[in-house]
Structures are given as structure tokens and as C-alpha cells.
Amino acid sequence: MLLSLSGVEKSYPTGEGPLTVLHGIDMKLDAGQSLALTGESGSGKSTLLHLVAGLDKSDAGQILIDGQDIAQAGDAARAALRRGTVGLVFQQFNLIPSLDVAANLAFQARLSGRHDPAWQAELAQVLGLEPMLRRYPEQLSGGQQQRVAIGRTLAARPKLVLADEPTGNLDEATGDAVMALLLRLVAQTGAALLMVTHSMRLADRLGGRLHLASGRVT
Ligand SMILES: Nc1ncnc2c1ncn2[C@@H]1O[C@H](COP(=O)(O)OP(=O)(O)OP(=O)(O)O)[C@@H](O)[C@H]1O
């Protein structure tokens, strides 16, 4: 099992006292599987994704990624896991403005010691980025930037791809095309995909669905 959560709890301190956002979440995701994380605004989707990404710490429970419990891991171990095993694709593209497309594509793969020029070239081709490898992010459309962000994540060959509304900033047709590419590439690499989406239409294209309501799986 690539990703396994059991009894995951998370509260945030607020002016009115602690706010429990996740109540004992259990879930599993195997390599090659994809899962849509759905639920109303405020149901805890992003919180759950951030915990799995190691960007935040849970209060209780176990989060195993590839056999390693990140809930108990220290900051350095969580950062290493983020570099090595997990790839993130968020709604904000977070490209590096001072680097051209080719260097943005290579960035994460270089950090994780897995830069593979042939794989990067294949990604650039599949994602339609070949004509713009020397351009800078500000010279790209939103859909093009999102394709670079997906390519940058997949270039590092993550075992687990975490995506938060990855096509949320795109029009429907562009978003559909980018989503099709993401699903195709994830399937090709055998990675697992956990994706937050508000769109039932997009959720239906993934292998399964985990629905959250008030911080509980329903
Ligand atoms: N840092 C924080 N401090 C206090 N409360 C927080 C914090 N981050 C999130 N929350 C609260 O936790 C709850 C869950 O937020 P979360 O962002 O996980 O929801 P979501 O399902 O992703 O929502 P959306 O679909 O609107 O993005 C919300 O009630 C939110 O107000």
C-alpha cells in the first residue's frame, strides 16, 4: 500500500478555542490508483492534502507513505519525503519566474537527484511545451503554466502525486485537456494520484472518490 491513513485527527487553534477539522480519517491508496477528494467548502480537503504532503502535522493518527510514518517524522524527514516520493500540483502554479520553462521542468527532478533528460523531453513533447522551452513563466498562458507545473512534478517521478484543484484556474476545455494529460502521465508512470476537486465531472474520471463532510469520511 502506497498511502495509508488511520485515525488522522487535526485541530486548529482559533479565537473560540480549538476547531477540530479532521475527525479520525481512514483511507488507503495503492500504486497506480487515483482518488478524488471531494466535499463542501470547509470540509477539510486541503487540510488532509497538506497533512499527506507533510506541509503540516496531524494531532493524532498514522499517515504511512511507502511504509514511512510521516505523522511522527521530523521536519527534515518530511522535507526529504516531499522531495523524494511525493509530488505536488496546486492551483497556483508556483513556477520560478527567473527560470525558463526547461529549467522549471528540471527543477524538482534535480533537487531529488532524478533528473532524466530523456524523460523530461518526453514530458515536454506530450505536454506540448517543446515550442516554449526558452520562454519564462510570465510569457505563458495559464494553461501553459499549469502544464509546466504538471511536467515539473512528473519529471521527478514521484510515487504519489497530490493535486489541489489542479485545473481550477483554467477554462473548462483547457482544464479537461490538462486533466487528461495528468491522468495519462500518472497512469504511464504507475504513480498514485490523490486530487482535491469541487467538480463531480472531474471526480468521475478518477478511479475512486473519498467524500468528506465536516471532517469525516462519508
Ligand atoms: N490555519 C487555520 N487556522 C484555523 N482554521 C483553519 C486553518 N486552516 C483551515 N482552517 C479551517 O479548517 C476547515 C477546513 O479547511 P480546509 O481548507 O481544509 O477546507 P476545504 O474542504 O479544503 O475547503 P475549500 O473547498 O473551501 O478549499 C475550515 O473550517 C477552515 O476555516
Distances from the Cα of 127 to the Cα of 31, 66, 101, 201, 215, angstroms: 23, 28, 12, 22, 35
Question: What's the chain's average pLDDT?
Answer: 92
Spatial distance between the Cα atoms of 53 and 47, rounded to a whole number of angstroms: 10
Alpha helices in 8-141 (DSSP H): 45-52, 75-84, 101-111, 117-126
Find the residues whose C-beta lies inside 6 A of ligand 1.
12, 14, 19, 21, 39, 41-47
pLDDT of 44? 96
pTM: 0.92
Q: Where are the domains of the chain?
A: 32-56+74-207
How close is the Cα of 73 to the center of ligand 1, in Å?
Answer: 23
ipTM at complex level: 0.96
The residue behind cell 519525503 is 81
Model confidence at 151, pLDDT cuts 50, 70, 90, reads very high
Q: Which atom of ligand 1 is nearest to the CA of 212?
A: 21
Closest residue CA from atom 13 of ligand 1: 42
Closest residue CA from atom 5 of ligand 1: 12
pLDDT of 130? 96
Domain 32-56+74-207 has CATH 3.40.50.300: yes
The 10s digit of each residue's pLDDT in 103-119 is 999 999 999 999 999 99
pLDDT of 21? 96
